[in-house]
Amino acid sequence: MTNGELMKMLRILVLTVLSFLLQGNVFGISIAYSGFTCLNTIDINDITPSGIPIESRFEVVEDVGGGIFRLSLTGGIPRIVNSDRNVCIDSVTAIGYSGVPQVDGLPGLLESIDATAYFGGQELVIVVNSMFTDLSARRGAFSSFSTSNILAITNTLIFVFDPQVSSFNLKKVIRNAGFTHTETGSANSIPFLETVLPSFNGVSQGKPLILTPTSSIEYRLE
């Protein structure tokens, strides 16, 4: 069998499996990966597992059409460091915080967050946007103040579908964290000092991280 014939058969198998699973109603279909929460909930370079079981799950909530789906993420996503086989599930920064002062008081950690996916028949791309805060806002003497440190985090996950075992293999994670912070200025002419960094990945003005799992991370299709 030639490579061209093999690829054709693979595409047919993929479409057949997905057509069977998705026909009529995609709601409730999900992909899931079981692991352990990260011992360090914030440090993206610490992938030590806590030993506490958790499940990362993306569930379809809307078929937008054209291969685009709205999802709900619960549990978090795998935290990866290049060249290290350890994996833990980031259940904090990947889902993040939300809050309106008049309604919620202080922002609180969410249990789930929206995500958006595109599936073209073999590759699945999922984008998750979250907001993380350390709730460090404070006011000092003479009305000096400082806001909490706030990070806007985007995780883009790239999967390849394996029709033989009905699973999606995680191949790449692209992670970027923006950073904002405001504090009292040093002079009347500059009442506020505002720090705004579109990319803040370990160092100021860093670049988005392109992460490749060293060990297999398979999300089962359910």
Tokens of 63: 């078929």
Tokens of 162: 């394996």
Judged against a pLDDT cut of 70, whether residue 209 lies above it is answered with: yes
Q: pLDDT tens digits for 104-126? A: 888 999 999 999 999 988 899 99
Rg of the chain taking only CA atoms, in angstroms: 21
Q: pTM of the entire structure?
A: 0.86
Q: pLDDT tens digits for 58-89? A: 999 998 988 899 999 999 999 999 988 999 99
Q: Closest Cα partner for 97 from 157, 40, 148, 145?
A: 148
Burial of residue 110, with CB atoms counted within 10 A of its CB: 0-12 exposed, 13-18 middle, 19 or more buried: middle
